[in-house]
Amino acid sequence: MHLIIAEKHDAAKRIAQILAGSKPSSQRVAGVDTYCFDDKVVMGLSGHIVGVDYPPEYNSWQKVDCKELIRAEIVVRPIQEKIIAALRSLGKRADLITIATDYDREGELIGVEALKIVKEVNPSLRADRVRYSAIVKEEILKAFKDSGKVDYYLAASGEARQIIDLVWGAALTRYISLTSGRLGKEFLSVGRVQSPTLALIVDREREIQSFVPKAYWEIFADLEKELRVQHAEGRIWEKAEVDAIIARLAPIAIIKSIETKPRIDKPPAPFDTTSFISAASGIGFSAANAMRLAEWLYINGFISYPRTDNTVYPPSIDLVALTRLFLKGAFSEEAARLLKGKMQPTRGKRSTTDHPPIYPTVPATKDDLKDDQWRIYELVVRRFFATLAEECVWDATSLKVDIGPEPFRANGARLVEAGWRYYYPYSKAEEHILPKLLEGERLAVLGHTVDAKETQPPARFGQGKLIKIMDDLGLGTKSTRHDIISKLYARAYVQGNPMRPTNTAYAVVDTLQKYAPTITKPEMTQTLENDMTLISERNIKEDEVIEKSRVMLTSVFDELTSNQEGIGQSLKDGLRTDKIVGTCQKCKSDLIIRRGHKGTRFIGCSGYPECRFTLPLPRFGTLIVTDKICDVHGMFHTRIINKGKRPWDLGCPHCNFLEWQAKKAQEKADPAQTKEDAKPKAKKAAGAAAKKKAKPLAEAKGDGLVALSGIGPKTLEKLALAGINTAADLAGAKAGSLAKMTGISPKKIMAWQKAAGAMS
C-alpha cells in the first residue's frame, strides 16, 4: 500500500482527486478521514501532530527556577492523538510513504514528524518526498512523477526553531511574569522575535510622543485660467519672511518657463509574502486574515503557495499560457489586452528556488468564492497581470511663474499610457492637467492664500509596514511574522491599526531595554535566524545552534538576575498605570481595575475604604484601557479582547452601566413591550453563546451581589434601582433607608451587609 501524507485535510482531499482522476472513496481510520484509490491512501495532518515541551516536573512556575529551563530536558509530546493513531494503523500496512506536505522549513518538519511515527511501527518502510507550489493537476502530477528524498536538514532547521523559541519564550516569560507579579491569564509574554518587534512599536510611539512640531507656512496664488501656483520656496519657516513676500507680490504673473517631459512608472515586482501582506493591508485586511485567506485559496487550487521570498518568476511557468486561461470570465478584457503586449515580466530583488512568487493558478468567478476570498484572489490576479504589463507613461509638466520678484511654480501630469495601472487600480495616481499656456504670457493675480501648518510626527506602523520592517531586519520569517503580530494583539500589547502600544507594552519594553537590552534588539534574532538557515544548508549542526542560543540566553539571564529588584519595581510601576481607568468623581482618587476574591473584576476607587465607588466589569477577556476619554465622566474607554473573536469595545464603563440600569428600569415598567421586543431575538438564541460574554457591563454586577444567599435577578433589579450595584455599595448602605427604598426587610439587608463586608 502507498501512503501519501498531506499537511492538511483539504489539501489531502484535493491531491487525492487529482491523482485518482475521479472521485476517490472515503474511509475513516481511527476517526480520521482518508481518501483511497487503486492501492493508494491519502490522509491529511493538521499541521504539527507533535510538539516540543518540558517534562511535567517543570510545569510549576513558582517552584521551578526560570534559569533551569535554559538547559532542561526537551521532550516531544503528541498533539493530535487521532491522527497519530491513524498514521500508525496505516503505516503498518504500507510499503511506501510519500511526504506531500508544504515545501518549506515548517512543512518539511511536519512531514518528518509523521514519518518518524510511521517508522516506529514499520522500520523498513520506503519514503520519498514530493514538492509543489500549487495544488493544480499539472503541478501535482509532475511532482509525483519527479519525487525526491526527504530533506532532514531542512526539517532540522525547523526543529531548532521550535526548541529555541520554546526555551527563550518559556524562561523569559516566566521570569518577567513572576518578577512583576502578573500570573494566570494576565501573564507577561516575552519572546525571541516578539519582544524586539514590540520594541519597534514602542520606540516609534516614543518618537511620536516626544515630537515637537515646528510651524511653517506655504504661500499660494490664484491666477487667471483657473491656475493655482505655489511659492517656489515651499515651506517657509519664518512668519516675517512670509509677510515680506506677500508685500512684494505684483498684480500680474508672468509665465517664465514651461517644460514637459515623459515620466515613467515601472510595473511592480511579483508578490512575495511580505509585499502581498502589505498590499492586502492597503485594502483593509489584517496580516493574519490575509494569510488565512491566501492559504485557503492555495489549498483549493486558486493561487500558488503564499509563503515565499521569491520575486522572480521561474522559466518553468508558461506566463502566456497562464494568461490565456483568463480570456473567459471576470478578467477577460484585461487578459485580452495583456496578450497584445510584450508580456515581459518584472523581476524583484530576491530570487529563490523553493517557491515562485504568488500568482493565480486558475480562473475563478465571484460565485466560486466568498467576498473576502474574492478580494484577495482579485488582488493576486491583478498583481500578476501588472507584473506582465508595460510601463505607465505620463507627460509631466513643470511650470515656473514670476509674480513681481517672487518665483512661483506648479506641476502637472497627464496620463499618456496607463500600462500596468490599467490592471492594478490599488496604486492610484491622479492626473493634474494644467491649462494651455505660453512662455511670457501675462496672467492677472486673482488672490493669494497663506496656509499655516506644522510638521507632523512620524506615522505609526500599520501591519503591512511593520512586516516589511521585520523582513528588512531579519525578525521572524515569511511564515511567522503575521503570527507574531497576532500575538501582540492577543497579549494586549498593542491596539488599533496603525498599532499603538498599551501601557503594558511600555512597562515591559522600558524595563527590558534598561536591564536586558539584548532581548529587545534585532541583532540576536538575526544571528539565530542565519544559523537556522545554515542548518538547512548543511553548514552547521542543529545541536550547535541550539547550544549557541542557550549560551546567549544564559548571558541575558545574568543581566536579569543581577538587576532583579530594579526590574520588579520598574514593571510594577509601569503596570500600575495600565490599570487606571480615570478619576473618581466623588473623591478625585484614581479609579483602578481590581480583582475580587473569586476572580471577579471591577473598577474600584483607590480611596477605599473612605470612598466605596465601584463599577462592575466582565469576568472574562483581556481588558485594555484605551486613550479615548468619556466627555461626561472623564473615564477612559475600555476594550475586551477574547482570543479568536472580534474585540468588544465597552466604551465608558460608567456610561455602559447607566445604560444597563435604564434598560432594566424600562423592562420593569413595561414588561409586555419588553417581551414583544424580545420575540425577533428568540430565533438567534442558538448562536447566542458567544454573545453572552459581550453583555453590558452592569450585568456583571452579580460578580459579588449574586454570590450572596437570597439575591436573585428580581432582588438585583431592586438594589440597582436603589443605587446598590456592588458588594461594596451594599456594605456601606444604611439598612433602614435601603429597606424603605426596596421593600426588603432590614434584617435580611443587614445579613447581606455582613457577608458583603467580608467580600470587600
Residue 545 located in a structural domain: yes
| Confidence tier at 709 by pLDDT (50, 70, 90) | low
Of 460, 397, 394, 413, the residue nearest 209 (C-alpha): 460
- Percent of the chain beyond pLDDT 90? 63
Average pLDDT over residues 726-746: 74
Question: Residue 581: its pLDDT value, please?
Answer: 82
Pair 296, 340 in one domain: yes
Domain end marker among 110, 130, 150:
150
Please tell me whether residue 485 adopts helix, strand or coil conformation: helix
Q: Is the pLDDT of residue 82 over 50?
A: yes
Q: Is the pLDDT of residue 757 over 90?
A: no
CA distances (Å), origin 550, targets 172, 380, 509, 519, 657: 12, 42, 22, 13, 51
What single-letter DSSP state applies at residue 303? B
Give the three cell numbers for residue 436: 494651455
Residue 51 CA to residue 699 CA, distance in Å, equals 41
Q: Indicate the residue type of 176.
A: I
Average pLDDT over residues 8-25: 93
Residue 237 CA to residue 655 CA, distance in Å, equals 46
φ/ψ bin of 28: left (φ > 0), alpha (ψ from -120 to 50), beta (otherwise): beta
Please give the span between the terminal C-alpha atoms of the chain, in angstroms, as a whole number: 68
Peptide bond into 425 cis (omega under 30): no
Pair 690, 591 in one domain: yes
CATH of the domain at 178: 1.10.460.10
- Percent of the chain beyond pLDDT 70? 91
Q: Is the pLDDT of residue 63 over 70?
A: yes
Question: Residue 653: its pLDDT value, please?
Answer: 85
| Confidence tier at 585 by pLDDT (50, 70, 90) | confident
Average pLDDT over residues 741-745: 73
Contacts within 8 Å (CB) and 24+ apart, 426-431:
426/279, 426/282, 426/283, 426/379, 426/382, 427/268, 429/265, 429/392, 429/394
Half-sphere exposure of 509 (CA within 13 A, CB side): 24
Give the three cell numbers for residue 642: 477574547
| Span 233-244, pLDDT tens digits | 999 999 999 999
Question: Residue 185: its pLDDT value, please?
Answer: 72
Residue 84 located in a structural domain: yes
CATH of the domain at 29: 3.40.50.140
How many residues does this entry show for the chain? 760
Bridge partners, residue 98, by sequence: 4, 128
Q: Is the pLDDT of residue 599 over 80?
A: no
| Confidence tier at 444 by pLDDT (50, 70, 90) | very high
Residue 106 located in a structural domain: yes
| Span 376-388, pLDDT tens digits | 999 999 999 999 9
Domain count, the chain: 5
pLDDT averaged over every residue in the chain: 88
| Span 134-188, pLDDT tens digits | 999 999 999 999 999 999 999 999 999 999 999 999 999 999 998 888 777 778 8
| Confidence tier at 704 by pLDDT (50, 70, 90) | low
Q: Is the pLDDT of residue 688 over 70?
A: no
Residue 476 CA to residue 277 CA, distance in Å, equals 15
Residue 734 CA to residue 727 CA, distance in Å, equals 14
The neighbour count for residue 747, using CB atoms within 10 Å, is 10
The neighbour count for residue 165, using CB atoms within 10 Å, is 18
Residue 35 CA to residue 42 CA, distance in Å, equals 5
Pair 7, 24 in one domain: yes
| Span 488-517, pLDDT tens digits | 988 889 988 899 998 889 989 999 999 889
Pair 32, 93 in one domain: yes
Pair 305, 375 in one domain: yes
Domain end marker among 532, 551, 573:
573
Average pLDDT over residues 451-475: 94
Please tell me whether residue 411 adopts helix, strand or coil conformation: strand
Residue 7 located in a structural domain: yes
Highest mean pLDDT among 320-329, 566-575, 591-600: 320-329
Pair 338, 294 in one domain: yes
Torsion of CA 17, 21, 26, 28, to 10 degrees: -60
Which residues are CB-contacts of 290 (< 8 A; sequence separation ≥ 6)? 276, 277, 280, 281, 376, 482
CATH of the domain at 280: 1.10.290.10
Pair 473, 420 in one domain: no
Question: 13-27, 326-340, 605-619 — which is least confidently predicted?
Answer: 605-619
CB 291 within 8 A of CB 297: no
Q: Indicate the residue type of 337.
A: R
Residue 65 located in a structural domain: no
CB 721 within 8 A of CB 660: no
How big is the CA angle at 168 (ends 163 and 173), to the nearest 5 degrees? Answer: 130
CATH of the domain at 223: 2.70.20.10
Per the listing, cell 436603589 goes with 722
Question: Residue 616: its pLDDT value, please?
Answer: 84
What single-letter DSSP state applies at residue 77? E
CA distances (Å), origin 425, targets 294, 383, 430: 20, 10, 11
Residue 205 located in a structural domain: yes
Pair 225, 255 in one domain: yes
Strand (E) positions, 200-329? 215-223, 227-231, 252-265
Rg (CA), the chain: 33
Domain end marker among 388, 414, 437:
388
Question: φ, ψ for residue 52 (rounded to 5)?
Answer: -90, 145
Please tell me whether residue 417 adopts helix, strand or coil conformation: strand
Bridge partners, residue 218, by sequence: 451
What single-letter DSSP state applies at residue 706? T
Residue 56 located in a structural domain: no
- Residues designated as active site: 305
Pair 138, 24 in one domain: yes
Pair 135, 255 in one domain: no
CB 699 within 8 A of CB 713: no
Pair 434, 501 in one domain: no
Q: Is the pLDDT of residue 685 over 90?
A: no
| Confidence tier at 629 by pLDDT (50, 70, 90) | confident
Question: Residue 758: its pLDDT value, please?
Answer: 58
How big is the CA angle at 211 (ends 206 and 215), to the nearest 5 degrees? Answer: 170
Q: Is the pLDDT of residue 694 over 50?
A: no
Q: Is the pLDDT of residue 283 over 90?
A: yes
Pair 439, 469 in one domain: no
Q: Is the pLDDT of residue 700 over 50?
A: no
Residue 70 located in a structural domain: no
pLDDT: which is higher, 660 or 56: 56
Question: Residue 741: its pLDDT value, please?
Answer: 67
Question: Residue 731: its pLDDT value, please?
Answer: 77
CB 12 within 8 A of CB 133: no
Domain around 403: 215-266+393-454
